[in-house]
Chain A
Amino acid sequence: MNRSDKFWHWMGTIARQAIVILATLMSLFPVYFMVVSAFKTRGEYIANKWGLPTVPILDNFATAFAGEKFLIRFANSTILTVGSVGISLIIACLAAYAFARMDFPGKRAIFNVLLSLMVVPPVVMLVPLFVSMVHLKLVNTYPGTTLIYVGLLLPFSVYLMTNFFRTIPREIMEAAHIDGASSFGVFWRIMMPLSAPAVITLIVVNALWVWNELLIALVFMQKDELKTLMVGITALRSKHYVDIPVTMAGLFIATLPIVVLYMFGQRYFIRGLVSGAVK
């Protein structure tokens, strides 16, 4: 390498590092802004918007928690998330087992339909779903909304589990069959324990999705005491008087479960997304 090559090599390295650092700072700034603001008094927020709080306070969190229906909303989001993730997981595992290891007519066709349903935007289904739900008297109920979420989660869930089940060698199943295990026995005692990583992936991806969802929650959980956290948060925007530090504390609490879940399943989460895309 001659001197000028070396120079350009160095420049390239510095430029790359600079671009990546800039992008990272931009990614982090809103989160940083949320966190520091949550620990400031109103006075300090107005005087010093971007710096660290001089004296961090916790009052905002107390106020947010005590805030109008905050805990109810938090509970509503939790109920919907746990319910729909749990139910879709059970159905997806059973269906995926059939897709991966059984033969039935139309298997390929049904699987292809599932694939294309993965990206159908919910807004398209909003009107017919609402009409059906009104008929079934399921609007403004936990079961109704859970049902919709389960339906929306299933295509991706079945797809992911099927792909995973296919990687488990047939020989293991056949051996168990010869030993006299039933189909369900094979599923429950062999496939499921081997599938822990895929199951964790699915739980993380789906829980994030339901927790963050807005449109369905807005339409199907309209009653004030049924509103989810995300719907509650959007109402803040249009308020005339907003205590920004308290709001930030509330946003912080609303985001925390997601971040914890992500840290817990980061490896699995990325793997899940990638397998949904690359394959």
Chain B
Amino acid sequence: MMVALLFVFGYPVARLIMMSLQRTSKGQEVFVGLTNYMALFQDEVFIRAVRNNLTLVLNVPVMVVVALLLAIFLFERIRGWKIYQTTLFLPYLLPIVVVGLIFSYIFQLSGVLNEALVAIGLPQLALDWLGSPKLALWTIMFVIIWKEVGLGVVLFLARLMSVEEELFDAARIDGANWWRLQWHITIPQLSTVIEFFTIISVITMLSWVFNYVYVMTAGGPGNSTMVTELYVYLQGFRYNQMNLAAAASVLILVITGVLIFVQFRLRERAGEEETFA
């Protein structure tokens, strides 16, 4: 396993690590040790980016709870549940770029949301959602939740459909109320899918949010929505600091690598009997 991993990953990663330890000087790659890493940790913008990525992780519990609740309601066959499932999943499908642009018009200072707030007599709530350094990240977080929750709903619902009805019936006959039913039957039955969705979402928050930020704020105002991916992109492809970008990539790789490993172990545990049975 380790050998194969080294083989496939080996070249690009070795290359990446090498670059992160070098600097270009007069067209020559010079070994500089950990200088690039030191530079990263002294760069306020990078620190800001890491902090923002960590803040985004706060989305994950919200997403899990909302998706769980919606999936349970749909599973209880409320009227029209199939139509609801399709529409709730729609956001996940749309290009982030398109969604991001639409939302930036909605959240503009003179956008639809603020007009609506003024119309219903709450002008004090009409804020500069994407233009204020204090609010912009939270607005982006809302859009991410809006977009990614649908996946959770679909995953949870699909799993629930394969749970044997008798389990629920038995609990109901025993007189379990709604909360106890969810707590003792639904959530344990869903535990592997919840784990999967949680880890995938954490990985997303740490390393797949480039599109949202690039489209809605481009990191601004004043780096308040900078994330590590955007940092890599800007350093590497705008400011021509490939070595700095490489160092930042290595750090992202290490963090996501740990998570990927955890996810992999969970998957292995869940799918042991299926894989190469």
The answer to whether A233 and B97 have CB atoms under 8 Å apart is yes
Residue of B90, B203, B242 near A31 (CB, 8 A) is B90
CB-defined contacts of B111 to chain A, threshold 8 Å: 49
The answer to whether B95 and A211 have CB atoms under 8 Å apart is yes
Residue of B with least CB distance to A262: B93
Given known pairs A214-B214, A273-B155, the reply for A116 and B233 (CB within 8 Å) is no
In the complex, chain B residues 177-193 whose Cβ is within 8 Å of any chain A Cβ: 178, 192-193
Residue of A with least CB distance to B264: A116
Among B13-21, B121-129, B166-174, the stretch in contact with A: B13-21
A178 lies within 8 A of chain B by Cβ: no
Among A61-69, A90-98, A103-111, A179-187, the stretch in contact with B: A103-111
The answer to whether B115 and A49 have CB atoms under 8 Å apart is yes
Residue of B with least CB distance to A29: B106
CB-defined contacts of B196 to chain A, threshold 8 Å: 277-278
The answer to whether A119 and B276 have CB atoms under 8 Å apart is no
The answer to whether B12 and A125 have CB atoms under 8 Å apart is yes
CB-defined contacts of B136 to chain A, threshold 8 Å: none
Residue of A20, A37, A121, A238 near B70 (CB, 8 A) is A20
Residue of A with least CB distance to B245: A127
Among B38-46, B56-64, B253-261, the stretch in contact with A: B253-261
| Alpha-carbon distance A16/B84, docked complex (angstroms) | 12
| Alpha-carbon distance A187/B155, docked complex (angstroms) | 31
| Alpha-carbon distance A27/B143, docked complex (angstroms) | 11
The answer to whether A237 and B19 have CB atoms under 8 Å apart is no
| Alpha-carbon distance A186/B174, docked complex (angstroms) | 53
The answer to whether A278 and B84 have CB atoms under 8 Å apart is no
CB-defined contacts of B207 to chain A, threshold 8 Å: 121, 123-124
CB-defined contacts of A215 to chain B, threshold 8 Å: 210-211, 229, 233
The answer to whether B15 and A131 have CB atoms under 8 Å apart is yes
B31 lies within 8 A of chain A by Cβ: no
B249 lies within 8 A of chain A by Cβ: yes
How many residues on A have C-beta within 8 angstroms of the other chain's C-beta atoms?
A: 73
Residue of B19, B193, B245 near A277 (CB, 8 A) is B193
In the complex, chain B residues 102-121 whose Cβ is within 8 Å of any chain A Cβ: 102-106, 111-112, 115-116
CB-defined contacts of A17 to chain B, threshold 8 Å: 78-79
B232 lies within 8 A of chain A by Cβ: yes
Report A37 CB to chain B, min CB distance, Å: 8
The answer to whether A251 and B87 have CB atoms under 8 Å apart is no
Q: Is the interface of A mostly helix, strand, loop or mixed?
A: helix
A4 lies within 8 A of chain B by Cβ: no
CB-defined contacts of A75 to chain B, threshold 8 Å: none
| Alpha-carbon distance A135/B256, docked complex (angstroms) | 28
The answer to whether B211 and A214 have CB atoms under 8 Å apart is yes
Residue of B with least CB distance to A275: B158
Residue of B with least CB distance to A46: B110
In the complex, chain B residues 242-277 whose Cβ is within 8 Å of any chain A Cβ: 242, 245-246, 249, 252-253, 256, 260-261, 263-264, 267-268, 270-271, 274-276
CB-defined contacts of A109 to chain B, threshold 8 Å: 1, 3-4
Given known pairs A215-B210, A233-B101, A266-B86, the reply for A27 and B93 (CB within 8 Å) is no
CB-defined contacts of A236 to chain B, threshold 8 Å: 101
| Alpha-carbon distance A218/B178, docked complex (angstroms) | 49
CB-defined contacts of B215 to chain A, threshold 8 Å: 214, 233-234, 237
Report A1 CB to chain B, min CB distance, Å: 12
| Alpha-carbon distance A257/B154, docked complex (angstroms) | 22
B96 lies within 8 A of chain A by Cβ: yes
Residue of A50, A119, A219 near B260 (CB, 8 A) is A119
A192 lies within 8 A of chain B by Cβ: no
With a 10 A CB-CB cut-off, give which of B93, B112, B214 has the most chain A CB atoms. Answer: B93
Residue of B5, B102, B216 near A30 (CB, 8 A) is B102
The answer to whether A127 and B155 have CB atoms under 8 Å apart is no
The answer to whether A33 and B106 have CB atoms under 8 Å apart is yes
| Alpha-carbon distance A273/B157, docked complex (angstroms) | 12
B37 lies within 8 A of chain A by Cβ: no
Report B57 CB to chain A, min CB distance, Å: 15
Q: A28-B87, A274-B154 are in contact. List 19 more A-B contacts (CB 8 A).
A: A26-B146, A27-B146, A30-B102, A31-B94, A115-B267, A117-B8, A119-B200, A119-B260, A120-B260, A123-B210, A125-B12, A126-B232, A127-B246, A130-B237, A238-B218, A255-B94, A277-B155, A277-B196, A278-B155
Query: Can you identify 28 A-B contacts, CB atoms within 8 angstroms?
Result: A13-B78, A16-B78, A17-B78, A19-B69, A20-B74, A23-B66, A24-B88, A29-B106, A30-B91, A33-B102, A112-B264, A119-B200, A123-B207, A123-B228, A123-B252, A124-B249, A127-B19, A130-B236, A212-B95, A214-B214, A215-B210, A230-B97, A237-B215, A237-B218, A238-B218, A274-B154, A278-B193, A279-B271
Query: Which positions in B face A, CB cutoff 8 Å?
Result: 1, 3-5, 8-9, 11-13, 15-16, 19, 66, 69-70, 73-74, 76, 78-79, 84, 86-91, 93-99, 101-106, 111-112, 115-116, 146, 150-151, 154-155, 158-159, 178, 192-193, 196-197, 200, 203, 207-208, 210-211, 214-216, 218, 228-229, 232-233, 236-237, 242, 245-246, 249, 252-253, 256, 260-261, 263-264, 267-268, 270-271, 274-276
